[in-house]
Structure formats: structure tokens, C-alpha cells
Structure 1
Amino acid sequence: MNYYVCETCGVQYEKSIVEPSECKICTEERQYVSVNGQKWTTLDDLVASGQYKNVITIEEAGLHSIKTVPTFGIGQTAYLVQHSHFNLLWDCITYIDAETITTIKELGGIHAIALSHPHYYSSQVEWAEAFDAPIYIHEDDKEWVTRPSEHIVFWTGEELVLKEGIVLHRVGGHFKGATVLEWQNNKKEGTLFVGDIIRVVADRKWVTFMYSYPNFIPLPTNVVKRIASQMDSINFEKLIDAFHRVIEKDAKERLQISAARYIAALENKLFET
């Protein structure tokens, strides 16, 4: 019996004797199956290969990034947010080993895990069991959980305060339960972690909003308007996405300007071609 892991998206499945017939995350239109076909591995095999390690980097006071090298699965970055004796793992990555666990325990461990959306569920249960931490997932994405666990807490509504200054906001769009994280990190302005519910573009001056990034399916204007309106009510100066792209300042303003440009493009008001 193995907990099989999809090599394309990195999501771990419930224990089974044989490999699953397909990955329901990848066969859905927001993701994709590799051109080389559906392939599976296990976390034990990844660790035993000796090919991977997690690089844990301090980004600023109270914030560490966690990145697997070389890249595995989608290649997202997870973040350890340290706030008032409360450590939150924001989003997840598949690879976890003894060295990773030791290093994070030296940083105070993990008190809770929160996910932006199903593409980053990865081996979230392995992380939860290693640190005895609850996993917070919005109930609207319950159907996408591939490995059930008593550690998973399905929360409801539009907002969940995990700790004063640490707030989850359901914004939808990319997934119905898509969530962003507000961190009021004892500064004048806060930081917004967005996974790829909102994605920072190449020049770090704009963001975009998509239903599917690999398949280039945009979100409709009414959804982007709703997301922009919701983000306008949150206090943040900095924005960090799932691929280590950061808007360091004026991020709230840049998000609103980006939303307006996106909507204008879809409504045929931005350009003629």
C-alpha cells in the first residue's frame, strides 16, 4: 500500500495497492496531464532518490520561503509566516524530509497550515502529521481533497481569523473556494499572499487573474470586478504569489489598476487588433 503522488501536479492520494487510474486534479480543465502521460511516484521514493532538497530562506523578519530544488510538480513556493508565537505554513509543497522537519522545528514548528487552492494541496497531510497541525481548507473545495485526514478543517464563509493579524479570505475565481492570506506583520501596511489566485506578471508591476494558467482560460469580468472589490477592503502594501514573485510596495493600487486593465481588455476597450 502506498500514498501515490502525481508527478505532474505533486498532489498525494489516499493509500492504495495500485496506482490510481488518473489524477483528478490534472484531468480537470484548469490543469493538464503531461504529454508523457500520467506518471506516479511516492514521497518515500523522492526522498530515497537523493535528488531533492528543500531550501528554506529568510525573506524578512518573520517570513521564510520553502522551495524544493530541483523543481518537482508545479514548482510552487510555500511560506512559513511567524506571527506572535504562531507559525503558519501558507500553501504546501510535496517534498518533505527529516532535514526539513528539523529545520522548521528549530524555527518554532508549524501551528497551522492554510491552502490557497487544490493545486497546492501536495502532501499536506504529511506536513500536518509531522507537526501535528490542522489544515484549513475552504469547504467549497472539499471535493478536491485526494487524501482525507482528521487534520483537515473545512471552514465556511468569506473570512476566517486564525490569529489576530492572520486572516484567510475566500475570493473564488481560480477555484470556488480560492483563498488568500492577509498578514498584518506589525508594520504600517500588511502583506497579501495570493498563491496564483492572483498572479504577479513578469515586470512585477502588474497582476493577472485566470481560471486556468496552463490552458490560458481567463476569468469573466464580473468575477474580476468582485475580486478587485474584495481586495480593496483589505489593508496591504506588499503582495507575494506562489512563484516567489513579489510586488514590494503599492501592491493594493497595482492590483486595482491591473484589474481595470484586465476588464478593459475583455470588454474590447483596451485595444483594437
Structure 2
Amino acid sequence: MPAFICITCGTQYAPSAQPPAHCRICEEERQYVNIDGQQWATLDELRESGRYSNRIEQISERIYSITTAPKFAIGQTAYFIKGQKVNLLWDAVTFLDEETSRFFEQQGGIDAIALSHPHYYCAVAEWSEEFKADVYIHEADAEWIVNPGSRFELWSGKSLQLSEEFTLHQLGGHFAGAAIAHADIGKGIVFSGDVIQVASDRNWTSFMYSYPNMIPLPIPVIKRMKQDISRLVFDELYNAFDRKVAPDAKEKVLKSADRYIQALNGELFDT
């Protein structure tokens, strides 16, 4: 049976004879149903269309970005980080083809896949099976797994160390289990998905409950996230849409949290 994919959010559902009646990811207030209505595809259909490919770019000695072109669904960027002992894929994209598989095989494979939040679960079960990689999802977001793979690992608490270099940290905010990845490389690197979103002005970031529907987070949540972020050491931050904050990324994220709080308190501007 085919595993149907929602073309608006890119989430792949468990195999079924017919497409699901609804996409529960899109019908939730942090996402949206396409204005043309719910539509479905399969990974085979995407491959056979000949339209899509994954653009893989080396952005540093050990980091590669992966983005599907032309844009499919949300259009997020995933990151492949080559570790000393563990090769990590941070977040994922829906599209997977032979060319993509060959690239990762040439790089030594993928050992672990860590996901920031449910909007990027996409077709991760396919990726997990293809590369025999364990998938790490915070248990607070387990209810959003609509196509559970055999290698899915639910983690709990505030952090999970995957290796000497890679640690996951639960920040909450965008989702209850929303997480970021910290890489102990150079002066420290954070991969934030859009749990921490990079602004058009790369000196600032923001934090939202819903980006497409523009629902902000409350002040107490931002204060808690700021406190958790302040414990980390990092100089660079990569988000899910090819945006980078560097140098002094930590200082800029903390200043951004303060500005967000001032704005909600009515202290930042007078209009």
C-alpha cells in the first residue's frame, strides 16, 4: 500500500489503501490547509514526475545543507553534520531519491536523525529505513507521529547527548517537545529549525507559536527559553531556511528574547 504525503506540509502518513481524510498536522492551528483543499501525493509519484531533486551544498568543512528544489511543501532545509563518531542528520526533507542516497553513502552514511518538531517529521520513516538510522523525537511530541518507523526513539527530559559532539536540548515554545541541536564544533554551533527563527536582519531572531498564522508565544515561555539558551555555548546558529547568525550568535539570540519581551510589554515602541 502507498504511504500518502500531504503536499502542503510534506508529512508522510502510514501506508493505506486510500489517502487519509484529513492531515492532522495541517488542520492544527500552527499550520494550515492549502487554499485549494487537501491534496496528496506519494514518494514514487514525486520521483517519477522528474520535477524534484535535492540540492546538497557544503557550507563548511563538516556541514552540508539539504533542500528540495523546486520548493516542496514547507520548503525547509535539513543539515548533515559529519561527526568524529556519529554522522547526524538534523531535521529532514520529504524527498528522497537514488542520487541523494548515493551522496550520503559516499559520506559514510547517516547514523542518527534528530528532529526539531512535527512540521519537519515529513518522510523521516523512509530516511530511517534507507540509512538504518535511529530517529530521535522528544516524547512530548509523540502524539504527532503519524508514520512511526521501527527505529524511532523517544527521548525525555531537557537534553539528550547523542555523542561527545552532539546534544539535543528541549526548548518547547513552538511545540511542547520542540528541540534544538548543539554541536561542539569550533566555538559551538546551534541548529534551531524554526524553534529559534532567524530574522531577515541576521542580527536578530524570533520565537513563535505559529509562523504561518502569526501567533506569538507568551512572555513566560520566552523567559524560560532564554534561560535554557543561556546555558549553552555557541557562536553560530543555523535555522531551517538557509539563514545563519554568526558571529556572536548566543548574544544575539538572548538580545532578541529581550526585545520580544519588551515588544509584548509595550515597552519597545509607541505607535
Q: TM-score range by the shorter chain?
A: over 0.9
Structure 2 counterpart of 1:42 = 42
- The alignment covers a number of residue pairs equal to 271
* 1:160 match: secondary structure: strand
| CA distance, structure 2, for counterparts of residue 246 and residue 64 of structure 1 | 13
* Residue 130 of structure 2 is aligned to residue 127 of structure 1: no
Q: Name the residue aligned to 1:221.
A: 219
Alignment correspondent of 1:180: 180
Q: TM-score, normalised by structure 1?
A: 0.98
User: Which residue does the alignment assign to 1:148?
Assistant: 148
Q: Once the 2 structures are TM-superposed, how far is the Cα of residue 86 of structure 1 from its aligned partner?
A: 1.3
Equivalence map 1:23-102=2 (5 Å): 23-102=23-102
Match of 1:232 in 2: 230
Counterpart of 2:262 in structure 1 is 264
User: Aligned partner of 1:115: which letter?
Assistant: L
Distance 2:256 2:246 in 1: 16
Superposed displacement of residue 203, structure 1: 1.4
| Aligned amino acid, residue 98 of structure 2 | A
Maintained 8 Å contact 2:169/2:182 = yes
Q: Tell me, in whole angstroms, the C-alpha distance in 2 between the residues paired with 1:112 and 1:33.
A: 31
Superimposed CA distance per residue, residues 195-238 of structure 1 (whole angstroms, 9 cap, x where no aligned partner): 00010000111000000000000000000011011000000000
Deviation at 1:85, TM superposition (A): 3.0
Q: How far apart are the structure 2 equivalents of 1:55 and 1:149?
A: 25
**d(CA) in 1 for partners of 2:17 and 2:230?**
49
Q: How far, CA to CA, are the matches of 1:52 and 1:46 in structure 2? A: 7
SS in 2 for 1:167: strand
Deviations 1:93-136 (A, max 9, x none): 00000110001110111000000000000100000000001000
CA distance in 2 between partners of 1:59 and 1:68 (Å): 16
- Alpha-carbon distance between aligned partners in 2 of 1:252 and 1:85, rounded to the nearest angstrom: 26
Query: What is the alpha-carbon distance in structure 2 between the residues aligned to residue 262 and residue 55 of structure 1?
Result: 34
Q: Which runs of 4+ in 1 moved over 6 A?
A: none
User: 1:193 is matched with which residue?
Assistant: 191
Identity of aligned residues (%): 48
Instruction: Provide structure 1 residue ranges, at least 5 long, that are not aligned to the other structure.
Output: none
Give the partner amino acid of 2:247: K
How many angstroms does 1:193 deviate by?
0.4
CA contact (8 A) 2:128 2:149 kept: no
The residue number in structure 2 matching 1:252 is: 250
Distance 1:45 1:85 in 2: 36
1:213 maps to a residue whose letter is: Y
Task: Give TM-score scaled by structure 2 length.
Answer: 0.99
Gaps of 5+ in 2: none
Q: Give me the whole-angstrom Cα distance separating, in 1, the residues matched to 2:20 and 2:44.
A: 17
